[in-house]
């Protein structure tokens, strides 16, 4: 049948951070709460788009507090 494209969680997080809309950032928090590997995502962001590290860090912190 058809092919369903899939991206890794790190790429998905980067896409959400690039979009930066309220719902996208809420999605980042929800993915962290669901068990996304924060350190792996931070490592990926540091290599590919370090400017998103602060926003991701804030989202992850909020997710872990709730």
Q: 28 is written with which tokens?
A: 């980042």
Place 66 in a pLDDT band, splitting at 50, 70 and 90: confident
Chain segment 9-42, per-residue pLDDT in tens: 999 999 999 999 999 999 999 999 999 999 999 9
Closest by CA to 38, choosing from 18, 19, 59, 24, is: 59
* Chain center to CA of 49: 12
Residue 13's alpha-carbon distances to 1, 2, 34, 43, 65, in angstroms, are 28, 25, 13, 12, 19
Count of CB atoms situated within 10 Å of the CB of 43: 12
């Amino acid at each position: 049948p058809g092919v369903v494209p899939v991206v890794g969680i790190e790429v998905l997080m980067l896409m959400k951070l690039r979009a930066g809309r309220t719902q996208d950032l809420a999605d980042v928090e929800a993915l962290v709460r669901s068990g996304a590997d924060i350190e792996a995502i931070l490592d990926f962001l540091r290599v590919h788009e370090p400017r998103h590290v602060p926003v991701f860090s804030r989202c992850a912190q909020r997710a872990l507090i709730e």
